[in-house]
């Protein structure tokens, strides 16, 4: 059970189910692979399906390797916001950037690539981390008559959270299906993310 009665005006947004975020990847989310079967079983229920894909150039500014003396998961100030630094991951054209081979990508009508601008990281499938550079997803969903966005994928406390927040801010009814998400969970960040989403009006199901 998904916890959601699916309507034709719903979109299933599948966030960053890529090799680097799954077992063996450079930024593996604990139990990240566990979401794939659930997501695949949800796909036939939805008329609209969108996949997001982290798509960084080599030497992206969010990589800890580009900041001498800084370790992954440290935080530095960027022009737009404090930015968490990450291991190199999801580099354009690499195996790590590919969708997990068990994910049913054929079901999707659109793939949104994000994080390809060298100086701006992008967690959300709607906006990059400066909160003003749009991916175009909002306009696409409106043009398809989507009213509700149902979020699944990786990771709960980063890309899923920010995507759900932006979907809600864009005026879509928004749901996060926790059975289809796994998080990195830095000092309780998964619980904090779900609490923050619930507080702003996102349904956590």
Place of tokens 């900041």: 67
Q: How many CA atoms lie within 13 A of 11 on its CB side?
A: 29
Is the pTM above the cut of 0.75? yes
Q: Closest Cα to residue 48, out of 156, 148, 126?
A: 148
Beta carbons of 89 and 26 less than 8 angstroms apart: yes
* Residue-range domain boundaries for the chain: 10-57+88-204
The encoded tokens of residue 126 equal 């709607």
Enzyme catalytic residues: 16, 114, 159
The encoded tokens of residue 10 equal 């719903």
The average pLDDT across 99-108 equals: 98
pLDDT 10s digits, 125-183: 999 999 999 999 999 999 999 999 999 999 999 999 999 999 999 999 999 999 999 99
Does domain 10-57+88-204 sit in CATH 3.40.50.850? Answer: yes
pLDDT of residue 4: 84
Element (H, E) at 36: helix 35-42
pLDDT 10s digits, 6-26: 999 999 999 999 999 999 999
| pLDDT averaged over every residue in the chain | 96
Whether the predicted pLDDT of 1 surpasses 60: no
């Amino acid at each position: 059970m998904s916890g959601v009665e699916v309507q034709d005006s719903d979109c299933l947004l599948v966030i960053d189910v890529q090799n680097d975020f799954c077992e063996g990847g450079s930024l593996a989310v604990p139990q990240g692979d566990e979401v794939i079967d659930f997501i695949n079983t949800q796909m036939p229920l939805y008329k609209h399906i969108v996949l997001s894909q982290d798509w960084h150039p080599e030497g992206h500014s969010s990589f800890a390797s580009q900041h001498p003396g800084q370790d992954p998961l440290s935080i530095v100030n960027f022009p737009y916001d404090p930015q968490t630094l990450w291991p190199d991951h999801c580099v354009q054209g690499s195996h790590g950037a590919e969708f997990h081979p068990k994910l049913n990508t054929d079901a999707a009508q659109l793939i949104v690539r994000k994080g390809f601008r060298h100086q701006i990281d992008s967690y959300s499938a709607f906006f990059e981390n400066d909160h003003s550079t749009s991916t175009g997803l909002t306009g696409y969903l409106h043009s398809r008559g989507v009213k509700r966005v149902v979020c699944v994928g990786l990771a709960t406390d980063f890309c899923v959270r920010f995507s759900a927040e932006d979907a809600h801010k864009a005026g879509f009814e928004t749901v996060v299906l926790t059975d289809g998400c796994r998080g990195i969970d830095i000092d309780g960040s998964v619980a904090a993310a779900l609490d923050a989403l619930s507080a702003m009006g996102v349904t956590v199901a």
